[in-house]
Amino acid sequence: MTSLEEKKAILDNFEGFYSFNEVVLYEDPSRDMVNVKGNIRFEIPTYISPDYNYVLGRLAKCISTESLNQALCTGASIPTINPLFNNRAELYVLSWDENSKAYKGKSTATNDLTQFSYTYKGESIFTGTLFEVNNDENINKNAGLVGTTTYYKTVPNNPTNEDIDKFLFNPENCDAIGFIFVQIQEFLVELNNQYQQGQIKQIIPKEWFSDATKCPEQSLVLHNNLLKFYVNVCPDYYSTWNKENVDIDNILKLYN
């Protein structure tokens, strides 16, 4: 029997900031499969049962603009809040499975019918599945889908410098580092477009822009306040739920 302390140790690592990659197959056979990338902020659990067998919580999901556009072209309908972050609020539930010594997780969007399932054993990279049923063919003939998701844990939601160093300079994290590095560079392009259009005033540090392809170089770029900025600028569940605007200029000031 798994002890309370063992379950707590597994759960303590769940909260945090993740990158994700989804491979999605839509019901329309004329459409290609779609890769959906972005990040997820699993908030600290709101409820944990006394025996640590059941956990309820919230999360915020942000989808890259490129991924969102690809999905929309495929016929998807993905409601989001802010066009820069393409964020939406979701909920999660974890239940302990003694046979597999793991938490069985499920997440659901609060604004559509997509359902996510995964098994969590405390590791930094884990996978899951997703599906959405088409509840009304007369409204949207392309809503049904199935897919698989890979989750890459990076740092806690409010990372310290020690958390940043621990993630970036651990060779075992190279896959996750490479994935989030590309994602952040794409985000910087979108952010720079806003700067060029006068929507934000603060200059984006030029040293943040990089085409590095190797893990050590990518880590150094991210270490220069870039990863910390990205984690802090991405909306959490509560700002997403309340549809709050992100004050990017003030956040940029902190890291310039």
pLDDT band at 139 (very low <50, low <70, confident <90, very high): low
Q: Kindly state which CATH superfamily the domain 4-155 is placed in.
A: Quinohemoprotein amine dehydrogenase alpha subunit, domain 2 (2.40.128.120)
- C-beta separation of 27 from 134 below 8 A: yes
Decide if 141 contacts 30 (C-beta within 8 A): no
Tokens of 14: 């769940």
Looking at residue 69, its pLDDT comes to: 81
Query: Could you read off the pLDDT of 28-72 as tens digits, one per residue?
Result: 888 878 899 999 999 999 999 999 999 999 999 999 888 878 777
> Residue 188: pLDDT above 50?
yes
What size, in residues, is the chain?
A: 256
* Highest-pLDDT range among 16-30, 87-101, 131-145: 87-101
Split at pLDDT 50, 70, 90, the class of 75 is low
> What count of other Cβ atoms lies within 10 Å of the Cβ of residue 201?
10
pLDDT at res. 247: 94
State mean pLDDT over 138-143.
Answer: 57
Q: Specify the 3-state DSSP secondary structure of 180.
A: helix
Q: Tell me the C-alpha distance between 79 and 235, whole Å.
A: 16
pLDDT given at position 142: 62
Lowest mean pLDDT among 11-20, 137-146, 192-201, 240-249: 137-146
44 φ/ψ angles, rounded to the nearest 5 degrees: -55, 135
- pLDDT band of 138, cuts 50, 70, 90: very low
Give percent of the chain with pLDDT exceeding 70.
94
Whether the predicted pLDDT of 21 surpasses 80: yes
Residues 6+ apart with CB under 8 A from 15: 42, 43, 44, 45, 156, 157
Rg of the Cα atoms in the chain: 19
Residue 72's pLDDT is: 75
27 vs 2, higher pLDDT: 2
pLDDT of residue 95: 98
Domain definitions of the chain by residue range = 4-155, 161-255
pLDDT tens digits, residue range 154-167? Answer: 999 999 999 999 99
Query: If pLDDT is split at 50, 70 and 90, which confidence band does 76 have?
Result: low
Q: What is the average pLDDT score of the chain?
A: 91
Question: Has this prediction a pTM greater than 0.95?
Answer: no
What is the reported pLDDT for 141? Answer: 58
Per-residue pLDDT reduced to its tens digit, 77-130: 676 778 889 899 999 999 999 999 999 999 998 877 889 999 999 999 999 999
